[in-house]
Amino acid sequence: MKQVLYMSTRDNKSRFSSSQAILKGIAEDGGLFVPDKFPSMDIDWDYLIKLNYKEIAYDILKLFLTDFTEAELKYCINNAYDEKFDTEIIAPLKKKMGTFFLELYHGPTLAFKDMALSILPYLIKVAAKKNNIDKKICILTATSGDTGKAALEGFADVEGTEIIVFYPVNGVSEIQKRQMVTQEGKNVSVIAINGNFDDAQNGVKQIFNNRGMLNELDEKGYIFSSANSINIGRLVPQIVYYFYSYIQLLKDGEIKKGEKINFTVPTGNFGNILAGFYAKKLGLPINKLICASNINNILYDFLNTGTYDKRRELNLTVSPSMDIIISSNLERLLSNISGNDSSYVNNLMDSLYKNGYYEVDSKIKNSLKDFYGGYAKEDETLESLKEVFEKDDYLIDTHTAVAYSVYKAYKNTTKDNTKTVILSTASPFKFPKSVIKAIDPKNNSIDDFELIKIISNLSQISVPKGIVNIDQRDVLHSKVCNKEEMMQLIKNLLP
């Protein structure tokens, strides 16, 4: 088996094993870990079509995590994709409105983050053992709403770990907040920050790059890692469901072996769609990766102009998990399409930091053609959600509605009839206010917990286990801090 090593996007001379890259989360130079040589896969559809989710997961993970043994990977996979998911098939594919919705929200926290965060704690645990780490691993996480809860759920009471989650005080839905602040576990802390997701993410990244702070905590017996999609251990498990959905389409007779399909991905930090790009590099027949944004449409602008310009205000939208300006994982794409040219990537990142923008050269711009960028305005999102519900009796959440809206526009503009899978990233029960606003605007109930019951009645779907009676659980976390205080707070939390 060929060994895959990892290097920083900002230093192509560094090398780390996959377990080291997962433990570190982010490179010390601020770059993200990427494979030094991209693995290749023998694609035999007659073989793959017989596999279940866990078996496909193993076949993908072993290509990237080459210093994990077969037994270790299978231990992680078996513990991740079990009864925590409310369906044995893990990620059901539904044919609706003439297209396909891949439901990635059947895990414990009702968003696609569970697809990777149910396995990451196990990967980290095994990685720590492999590298003889005798320190406590402190998972620092910034969340736009869904990562936080999924990480908390995954790491709560995991021996040898501590988890601290920062969420933007006004940037998450009532249900998302409630899920987090009621989290139980001896090793968990949840803190609201006065700021938006970018403030939380920047704060966390600064801590990872603060040698003094890292040394101080190292002496106290802690090392830091990340549960955000900057961690390669988050990204690799996300490649799996791209293959899984393709195989599902084959099984259902919707496509022929080798036929190209599109994916439409509601995008924020560019992690999910980057996993799609990695799937394409492995040989999955993908025509276009359609990158769907809300009105925080910096990626739409970038894909269309080649300029990434962060000099803009962040808008709060009905799809809060995508309210992001700095899409971290784009750096991995730039690294890949520049041929791992770390000095080029460094220049872009410097320019983003110093000038607030960067512009890629024409060669890079040309390589962005795997992607198509679109965005949905707020009313278009709600309109799309309503349309799918009324025409096909299928309730999607607001993030998925952004994707559906962008896909419709894509099809209209390009006349491309390639079969398309829309990644359905959250359950509609997570965003009841906005969902009701779309399907029953006259309802002016303001209580999310009341609305959950109304949605259950309207959609004839019972309230998912993860949020039943959530309004009656005790609030265990009520700290609020300013972004400047994050570092001190962490020091106080880790005695």
Ligand X SMILES: *Cc1c(COP(=O)(O)O)cnc(C)c1O
CB nearer to ligand X: pick between 118 and 269: 269
Which residues in 352-465 belong to E strands, given as ranges? 357-359, 371-375, 420-424
- 128 and 138 Cβ atoms separated by less than 8 Å: no
CB nearer to ligand X: pick between 12 and 109: 109
Kindly tell me which residue out of 12, 17, 269, 434 binds ligand X, with binding defined by CB under 6 A. Answer: 269
- 243 and 279 Cβ atoms separated by less than 8 Å: yes
Contact call for residue 399 and ligand X (CB under 6 A): yes
Give me the torsion for CA of 30, 32, 35, 36, rounded to 10°: -30
Rounded Cα distance, 466 and 239, in Å: 25
Contact call for residue 248 and ligand X (CB under 6 A): no
Binding mask 280-319 for ligand X (x = CB under 6 A): ----------------------------------------
Contact call for residue 176 and ligand X (CB under 6 A): no
List binders of ligand X among 36-95 (CB under 6 A). none
Smallest gap, in angstroms, from Cβ of residue 47 to ligand X?
29
Smallest gap, in angstroms, from Cβ of residue 185 to ligand X?
21
Rounded Cα distance, 414 and 423, in Å: 20
Question: Cα 228 from chain centroid?
Answer: 8
Applying CB under 6 A, the span of 162-170, 260-268, 413-421, 457-465 interacting with ligand X comes to 260-268
Applying CB under 6 A, the span of 35-43, 70-78, 217-225, 269-277 interacting with ligand X comes to 269-277
CB nearer to ligand X: pick between 334 and 490: 334
Question: Cα 70 from chain centroid?
Answer: 25
Through-space distance between the first and last CA atoms of the chain, rounded to whole angstroms: 43
Rounded Cα distance, 136 and 162, in Å: 7
Which 3 state secondary structure label does DSSP give 101?
A: strand
Rounded Cα distance, 327 and 272, in Å: 11
HSE at residue 407, side-chain half, CA atoms within 13 A, is: 30
Smallest gap, in angstroms, from Cβ of residue 15 to ligand X?
26
Which residue matches tokens 């496509």?
Answer: 255
CB nearer to ligand X: pick between 161 and 173: 173
CA-wise closest residue to 270 among 306, 228, 312: 228
Contact call for residue 272 and ligand X (CB under 6 A): yes
Smallest gap, in angstroms, from Cβ of residue 144 to ligand X?
6
Contact call for residue 425 and ligand X (CB under 6 A): yes
Catalytic residue list contains 113: yes
Smallest gap, in angstroms, from Cβ of residue 109 to ligand X?
9
Size of the site for ligand X (CB under 6 A): 16
Tokens linked to 165: 């989650």
Applying CB under 6 A, the span of 86-94, 263-271, 407-415, 444-452 interacting with ligand X comes to 263-271
List binders of ligand X among 330-389 (CB under 6 A). none
Contact call for residue 267 and ligand X (CB under 6 A): yes
Contact call for residue 179 and ligand X (CB under 6 A): no
Smallest gap, in angstroms, from Cβ of residue 321 to ligand X?
3
CA-wise closest residue to 18 among 31, 3, 30: 3
CB nearer to ligand X: pick between 195 and 271: 271
Contact call for residue 236 and ligand X (CB under 6 A): no
Applying CB under 6 A, the span of 42-50, 59-67, 75-83, 261-269 interacting with ligand X comes to 261-269
Rounded Cα distance, 105 and 423, in Å: 10
Contact call for residue 229 and ligand X (CB under 6 A): yes
Contact call for residue 139 and ligand X (CB under 6 A): no
Contact call for residue 101 and ligand X (CB under 6 A): no
Long-range contacts of 309-316 (CB under 8 A, 24+ apart): 309/356, 309/357, 310/352, 310/356, 310/357, 311/356, 311/357, 314/196, 314/197, 314/198, 316/170, 316/171
Active-site residue set: 113
User: Interface residues with ligand X (CB under 6 A)?
Assistant: 111, 113, 146, 229, 266-272, 321-322, 399, 425-426
